[in-house]
Structure 1
Amino acid sequence: MFRNALEPWHLVLLVLVIVLVFGSKKLPDMARSLGKSARILKSEAKAMKDEAKSNTTANSAAPAGEEQQSPAQRTIQAAPGDVTSSRPVNEPTDTTQR
């Protein structure tokens, strides 16, 4: 039943339906916004990884008995180098640490 489920003419038909539904003028904008979203996700994932790495090294390097200072305020940007849509983010403080 599903032996030949996806053949090349199926893909051509799928692309044709997508172009008819969304229109040829909307597709580049949609692709651009999808790429922008992927860049934001990638930069946020990298920032989280770097933050976790720096927290791990800061926790191991801090002397026992001293409280750590709160991290500096971060700025989220829609795209690398984009300063028009950047906004500061207040990090939540962790009250469970002693």
Structure 2
Amino acid sequence: MRDIRLPVVETEICVAKGLKAGDRSLYTVIRVSSLKDEGKIVGSWLTPLAVLIVEPKDQYAISITGERMRLEEIMKLAPSLRAVVEKARGAFHVPIT
């Protein structure tokens, strides 16, 4: 009897490239899943999770279901967002001399 091997699902939370809308920056947070069999990808799918919005004086996330999310919640989902937020905040930073 042959061994039956099931494909492996690998999942990663990613941040899509930002989009500028006036003085706001918008970032889509997505779950990327891939189905692998013997090291080869045999299927994949994307699931949108939230939109991160960075404004000059505020930053927040809205889930795809329309609920406002605390920034800490979205950071837990996608730790790589921290660098995105810091970069976007820096765009609005004006040094005081």
TM-score of the superposed pair, with normalisation by structure 2: 0.30
Q: Which protein is richer in strand relative to its size?
A: 2
TM-score of the superposed pair, with normalisation by structure 1: 0.29
Q: Which protein is richer in helix relative to its size?
A: 1
Q: Greater Rg, structure 1 or structure 2?
A: 1
